[in-house]
Structure 1
Amino acid sequence: MSRTTPSRPLDVEALFPELANYRGTTTRLHPRPGRPEATDSSVGGPLLWPANEPWPVCTEPHSHARGRRPADIHRQRQILAAVWLREPNPGPTVEERQLLEELGRKHRVQDVAATDPLPLIGLAQLYRRDIADLPAGPDDCDLLQVFWCPFDAHGPTGHSMLLDLRWRRSWEVTEVQTSPPQPLVVGYEGYVPEPCVLHPEQVATYPFAGLLPEDVCARIDAWEEGLEEVAEQLADEATAAPVGYQYDLSIPPGWRVGGFASWHATDPSPMNCRTCAVPMHLLLTIDSTEWDGGSGSWKPLEEQDLPTYQSARPTQVTVGRWGELNIFACPEGPHHSHRWSIQ
């Protein structure tokens, strides 16, 4: 079933005509639980990885001998999803609580050194044929595959994530690796995705307000302040929250490809290629939720009747403190190193 973004509450270009010059597109991926195959674009599904090619591993030295088992994480999620749908008495039984507690335990893997290679988790793969805003890869590559390490133990602080993005030509893969290596334990359950099929949808998008010309940004701020004042004067339980540029009219929430990055948690930061200094473009956004209380206007038409707690977190991926990960790519050199920012 396709997913359809509702029309925006207001025509932002009618309010601010100059925004027409900044309009772009982004492809909402709309991941939903399913059984993807290696030939599908997916989150958490099997990857089209050659049987004769080594699986990506983390080689940075760090402790990875203690954590939760991925199978336990998947099982715990399945149980929780089922018990909260149970009628007429939702919630776990005493026996289920005991099982959930057992599944939540951390385990130690014996004889694992910090310098031992750690298999990365295959997070997602995206085919250009499916994703309108996915740029061309280097050397005619048509498939982007995303991996990450399941431990926050990298970078100068020793507490950052590690990403590994690979491009490949899908038609060259003749034999697929069906049982790739997996980490025995993970440091954070938010790194473990649930298998999801994608329902790509291209929508219009506009830049983060702080990156627009100062006069346009000031007019947007004044307009929003006016709406907030009216809402305060009419405040009652039936009054809907006022429409906002950030959460209703410009940048959609959820997993998406292309478009503009949101900088709602920090000030905008220049993302220039470290190889050629060219300003980088947003490649992929990995979000902890598909929508929330502040961005509910983006909830697909087909899912309007679903409660948020059942439908807003299909991938079960959590970025940082329930944020989003923006990955940037160089438009001049797709093979140049990527950069990223957490919001």
Structure 2
Amino acid sequence: MTPEEEAIKERNAARLTERLDADPPPADCPVPMLPVAQLYLRDIPLLQPPGQADLLQVLWCPYDHDPHHKPATALFWRSAAEVVDILATPPEPYEVNDDGYLPEPCVLAPEAITEYPNSLDLSPQMLLMVQDWSRWQAAGADVDSSEHADCPRDFYDVHLADAPGWKVGGWPPWGRTDPNPRYCTVCDVQMVPLLTIASYEWDGGEGRSWAPHEEQAAAYAANTTGHCCGQDPSQPTKVEVGSTDNMQIYVCPASPGHPHTDLIQ
């Protein structure tokens, strides 16, 4: 174990000891919600906030809530200019259901990408085209025929469809279920994805191709040299939802004031 990893281990152990030695909170003690994401319109024009808002704050309760045993989320649209009373030390919960519900503070570097629908979202005609290897050849696609000629759909889903990782908007990462549209409980309009809270930015297999260009070396090195100082380059937030799944938050496109919903995939 490196000196850096030893220091991290000792710090975490000391923090745990401090928590265990503390008196338990009263049964009716309120649980503070934890900040999960803070997104500015200036960085992410795709946000489409209501009114004069230019800031989205996403919080969640670090406990599993029924009926689907996941953190309960809350959305706050605000004007950044009006946020003046900032806590130097945000409140922390006494405990959490899972370590993956306690986000590691990170600075975001948003970038726009192009992705395509999951193959489960394609029409039957489009799916046939994706599965036709001759079309990939005719298009001159740089695809390894020895690996993907028998099932080009796999290549499509891994390298082109529903980009993994945290993202605003985009296509749903189906997998746990078939496509499952969400509808607003107020106006019955089909809801749209707002934010994906991902357990990993990319997987350890071929999905590493989604790693940002400047992190490609770290993405491929992680499989051979291990993680640096206990930090997985594909999991900077250390958030884990479900069984290393994604939580996708949906909102009503007709009115941001209507209740949002979420889905684990």
Shorter-chain TM-score bucket reads 0.7 to 0.9
- Note if 1:143 corresponds to 2:55: yes
Q: Which has the higher helix share?
A: 2
Give the Cα separation in 1 of the matches to 2:253 and 2:3: 41
Distance in structure 2 (CA, Å) of the matches to 1:175 and 1:149: 22
Equivalent residue for 1:271? 182
Q: Which has the higher contact order (CA 8 A, sep 6+)?
A: 1
Cross-structure match for 1:183: 93
Q: Distance in 2 between matches of 1:232 and 1:268?
A: 24
Indicate which of 190, 194, 214 corresponds to 1:302.
Answer: 214
Query: How far apart, in 1, do the equivalents of 2:107 and 2:83 lie?
Result: 21
Residues 298, 162 of structure 1: alpha-carbon distance in 2 compared, 3 angstrom cutoff: same
Matches within 5 A, 1:1-343: 82-83=4-5, 107=20, 109-113=23-27, 115-135=28-48, 137-152=49-64, 154-156=65-67, 159-223=69-133, 230-231=146-147, 244-292=155-203, 293-306=205-218, 307-308=221-222, 309=227, 310-343=232-265
Answer whether contact 2:60 2:71 (CA < 8 A) is retained.
Answer: yes
Supply the distance in 2 between the matched residues of 1:280 and 1:81 (Cα, whole angstroms): 48
Q: Which moved more, 1:266-275 or 1:301-310?
A: 301-310
CA distance in structure 1 between the partners assigned to 2:91 and 2:77 by the alignment = 20
Q: What's the CA shift for 1:221?
A: 3.7
Which segment drifts farther, 140-149 or 214-223?
Answer: 214-223
Distance, in Å, in 2 between the alignment partners of 1:233 and 1:244 is 9
Aligned length: 244
User: Are residues 168 and 80 of structure 1, via their aligned partners in 2, closer, same or farther at CA, if it must alter by over 3 Å?
Assistant: farther
Deviates more, 1:293-302 or 1:100-109: 100-109
> SS of 2:206's equivalent?
coil
Alpha-carbon deviations, 1:48-101, whole Å to 9, x = none?
A: xxxxxxxxxxxxxxxxxxxxxxxxxxxxxxx98923xxxxxxxx5xx9978866
Q: Provide Cα deviations, 1:194-231, integer angstroms capped at 9, x if missing partner.
A: 1111111111122222122112123324549x989843
AA at the equivalent of 1:311 = P
Query: What is the CA-CA distance between 1:116 and the residue it aligns to?
Result: 3.0
Shift of 1:317: 0.7
2:51 is paired with a residue whose SS is helix
Assess, with a 3 A threshold, how the Cα gap between structure 1 residues 217 and 173 changes in structure 2: closer, same or farther.
same
Q: CA deviation at 1:109?
A: 4.5
1:288 deviates by 0.9
- How far is the alpha carbon of 1:132 from its aligned partner? 2.8
Instruction: Return 5+ residue gaps in structure 1 as ranges.
Output: 1-78, 84-91, 235-240
Cα deviations by residue, 1:142-170 (Å, 9 ceiling, x for unpaired): 11101111111x2236x332111111111
Cα–Cα, structure 1 residues 180 and 265, in superposed 2: closer, same or farther, change >3 Å? same
Contact in 2 for aligned 1:272/1:279 (Cα 8 Å) = yes
In the aligned structure 2, how far is the partner of 1:111 from the partner of 1:260? 42
Q: 1:325 to 1:294 in 2, by over 3 A?
A: farther
Q: Distance in 2 between matches of 1:327 and 1:127?
A: 17
| Distance in structure 2 (CA, Å) of the matches to 1:96 and 1:178 | 23
Q: Percent identity?
A: 38
